Structure 1
Amino acid sequence: MRLASHPLWLVGFRPFFTLACLAGVVLPVAWALVFAGWLPAPDSRYTSVQWHAHEMFFGFGWAVLGGFLLTSTKNWVNIRGYHGPALMLLAAAWTIERWAMAFGGGWPDWLFVPAAGLFLGTIAALLAWTLIRHRATDSYRDNLLFIVMLPAFLVAKFQLLAGDFAAGHGMALALFRLAFLVMLERTLTQFMKAAFQVAILRNARLDMAIKLLGLVLVGEFALPPALTAAIALALAALLGIRFFFWQPRLAFTRIDIGIMYVGYLAIAGQLLVEALGHIADFVWVGSVSVHLFSFGAMGCVIPAMIVRIARGHTGRKVVFDAADRAVLYVMLAALAVRVLLPQLLPGAYLLWIALAAAGWALTFGTLAWRYIPMLMRPRIDGREH
């Protein structure tokens, strides 16, 4: 089929980073307009806040994570990877899910549930099958975590669809947090060696303890609050200890690497805020725990990864030019606007929401303008994929 051979469908990151950039422009702005009362709430089965939370994790977030895993898993097990019609099906399912979540409030269950679950069910099954089938040749033995996490994402999704939104949302955040911890552990080791010729601390017991504690927190909805707080504090402490052995002073001399360290610190900070929420009657303005993760980890790490993967996997040299660096600074500003300023000036909360959404949209709009054309064209080094 001629369409299936288009460069967009050669590797998973191409269609899904395209969708992620577009979602990164549309979803936050739509939410800010809904929150301000300038747009009607989506015709959804969920409240507008729940719709926003779902879409940022399962819409935007899974477009990024799906593109990353579809690309990485083929490299981890050394196979061709899903392409052509398989990617077209996944992209269509992702689009149908966005429509169902925004406009399917009156749909019958027999239509809404498959439409809202087809994308995640299909991509999780395909990725798990790749990792299980090629387990013997997998270059990362701890990819067993992804074999566990992929069906766990389906459990989180089922909880959301079944009406237990708090449990499903908390589980989704914990799963994304664990996925980011695994990704940062692997990539920062490589980036620091390539950029500064230094080896950051990699201790098998410490690394595994961090990942296992992160995995336990996936079941937070079933744990006593005191135990959740203790585990979150322990994980934050381990992350802090490891951070000081990861050469942060060097990393922060380069924005393209330093911003990933910001994401790492945001995860630790989110764990501390979450733990505090379980043990003290402390009120933050504007869901600080969630937004420390969404803006601090996802918002800071994802643009840098899109630039690296889009450049490297299209045959280009991985160099951050002035425009690439600028969008990273914009996202850092958006993080401060969304998390810090509401604590200082809560009376201007609507303004902070609008500015943060504008910063997010500007970041991903710029990435879309610069990188979607690359994703639509063949590699420049002559390789097929």
Structure 2
Amino acid sequence: MRFSNHPFWLVGFRPFFTLACLAGMLLPVAWALIFSGAIAAPVASFTSVQWHAHEMFFGFGWAVLGGFLLTSTKNWVNIRGYHGPALMLLAAAWIIERIGMAFGGNWPKTLFLLSNNLFLGSIVAMLLWTLIRHRDTDSYRDNAFFLIMLPGFLLAKYLMLEGGEFPAGYSMAMALFRLAFLVMLERTLTGFMKAAFQAQILRHPALDMTIKLLGLMLVVEFALPRPLTAAVSLLLATLLVIRFFYWKPQLAFKRLDIGVMYIGYLCIVAQLLIEALGHVMSFVWIGSVSVHLFTFGAMGLVIPGMIVRISKGHTGRKVVFDGGDKLVLVIMLVALVARIIVPQFAPAAYLGWIHLSATCWFVAFGILAWRYIPILLQSRIDGREH
């Protein structure tokens, strides 16, 4: 068997969920050690905070989003999808970017920029090519949002590191991920609630579209007047709350694997409310609560379940959360509480809470890596090729 024909390279989720597990283990721990002064920050033209934000969004976040979109887009438009050498090159580019971010501070500027943009530029171009070329057979008309979001990530990345506008860049990156989550939650929870409880949840086209359009507006929050940003954030949070109560949370919370997705949804609401209020009044929060509500609440809670579901379902296994899978979700809930809630009441131990939450990520994604990387390396058990 040629190496490029190995099962690992047949579908995008296999290499990129592997990289996501490794990134989820290592990147938060590395940041906790840098933050506490135990290890030195990367030597570069950007700060350690820029490094941390970039690596969590464009390292960990894009390993997950890349794996998801490489897998989903081929199903949305009903084509074979990228595999073999194409995936090998993308994975290599992702790894090169991590090396550049960690050790490329003294590299020639051109070499660093190449290492830093090769992965995102390539995968965005490949995904856009798939969605645009096969637009007529696309199952979801609102994938037009991805046609806007994907190039937007390139701008956000530039602003974060090279454009001298870090706050605008990380705000834009978070808004883009938030919009992607809103699109994905809308689609997936409809199917999950029907499969788990035979329950139909509210899908009102006008409401759903308004939510996504408001989310899209917030992508350029940095360019909007503060009162307008506050109003849009508040309106979006209000519509999400209204829809939440029509999505039958009383049923969802009976299942941990679905309940954590609803908690992630509520964390998006809370993050929007804090953003809205922060534009009109002053609050004293410990530890960048707004951004971490999203990264720990939405990303941290939803992504592990996504990895479990796709890894099992797309390798021919029954999608059932066993004890090990549920343990991962519980650990990530502990991470959320340790990073967001507890520091507000015990700020003196803030450094300890950062280390605890980073340890939770290490353990949770370590369990996922131990359990699922072997599965990702194997052929499907149902005899299908991919």
Task: Give TM-score, length-normalised by structure 2.
Answer: 0.99
Residue aligning to 2:289: 288
Map 1:139-150; keep pairs closer than 5 Å. 139-150=139-150
Paired residue secondary structure (2:106): coil
Matched, 1:216 2:217: yes
Q: Which residue of 2 aligns with 1:102?
A: 102
Show the counterpart of 1:155: 155
Letter in 2 for 1:155: L
Matched, 1:168 2:147: no
Counterpart residue type for residue 145 of structure 1? F
Taking the aligned partners of 1:155 and 1:242, their CA distance within structure 2 comes to: 31
Q: Specify the SS of the correspondent of 1:242.
A: helix
Q: What's the offset of the Cα at 1:110?
A: 1.0
Please report how far the alpha carbon of residue 295 of structure 1 lies from its aligned counterpart in structure 2 after TM superposition.
Answer: 0.3
Measure, in 2, the Cα distance between the counterparts of 1:50 and 1:40: 14
2:347 maps to amino acid: P
Is residue 267 from structure 1 mapped to residue 268 from structure 2 by the alignment? yes
Task: Give, in whole Å, the separation in 2 of the partners of 1:45 and 1:17.
Answer: 30
Q: CA deviation at 1:44?
A: 2.6
Q: For 1:342 and 1:107, how far apart are their aligned partners in 2?
A: 39
Give the letter for the 1:73 counterpart. T
Indicate conservation of the 8 Å contact 1:9/1:84, yes or no. yes
Structure 1 residue 104 displacement after superposition: 1.2
Work out the CA distance in 1 between the residues paired with 2:99 and 2:337.
Answer: 31
Q: Which moved more, 1:156-165 or 1:329-338?
A: 156-165
Task: Give 1:108 shift.
Answer: 2.1
1:263 offset after TM fit, Å? 0.6
Output one character per residue of 1:12-44: Cα deviation in whole Å (capped at 9) or x when no partner. 000000000000111011111111111111123
Q: Which amino acid aligns with 1:185?
A: E
Q: 1:186 is matched with which residue?
A: 187
**Where does 1:304-343 land on structure 2 (aligned, <5 Å)?**
304-343=305-344
Instruction: Return the letter of the residue paired with 1:31.
Output: W
CA distance in structure 1 between the aligned counterparts of 2:322 and 2:222, rounded to whole angstroms: 43
Partner of 1:366: 367
1:60 aligns with 2:67: no
Identify the residue that residue 119 of structure 2 maps to in structure 1: 119
SS of residue in 2 equivalent to 1:162: coil
| Structure 1 residue 72, shift from structure 2 partner | 0.3
By how many angstroms is 1:166 displaced? 1.1
Q: CA deviation at 1:159?
A: 1.4
Q: Deviations over 1:80-131 (max 9, x none)?
A: 0000000000000000111111111122221111110110000000001100
* Distance (whole Å) between structure 1 residues aligned to residue 45 and residue 252 of structure 2: 44
CA contact (8 A) 2:315 2:380 kept: yes
Q: Determine if contact 1:45/1:106 at 8 Å carries over to the other structure.
A: no
Q: C-alpha separation between the residues in 2 aligned to 1:32 and 1:204?
A: 43
Q: TM-score normalized by structure 1? A: 0.99
Q: Residue 281 of structure 1: CA displacement?
A: 1.2
Aligned to 1:133: 133
8 A Cα contact 2:90 2:123, kept in partner: yes
Please tell me the residue identity of whatever aligns with 1:90.
L
Percent identity reads 71
- Displacement of 1:157 after TM fit? 1.3
Q: Deviations over 1:241-286 (max 9, x none)?
A: 0000001000000001001001100101110111111111112110
**Offset of 1:45 from its aligned partner?**
2.3
Contact 2:54–2:157, Cα closer than 8 Å, also in 1: no
- Aligned partners of 1:44 and 1:51 also within 8 Å: no
Q: CA deviation at 1:303?
A: 0.3
1:296 CA drift (Å): 0.1
Contact 2:339 2:357 in 1 (8 A): yes
Unaligned runs of 5+ in 1: none
Give the deviation of 1:49 after TM superposition: 1.3
> For 1:322 and 1:207, how far apart are their aligned partners in 2?
34
Cα distance in 2 for partners of 1:343, 1:26 equals 26
Give the Cα separation in 2 of the matches to 1:140 and 1:333.
35
Instruction: Tell me the distance in 1 between the aligned counterparts of 2:74 and 2:45.
Output: 37
Structure-2 separation of matches of 1:46 and 1:7: 38
Aligned to 2:19: 19
- Greater Cα offset, 80-89 or 99-108: 99-108
The aligned amino acid for 1:257 is I
Superposed displacement of residue 163, structure 1: 2.2
SS in 2 for 1:105: helix
Tell me the distance in 2 between the aligned counterparts of 1:49 and 1:203. 40
Q: Answer whether contact 1:263 1:296 (CA < 8 A) is retained.
A: yes
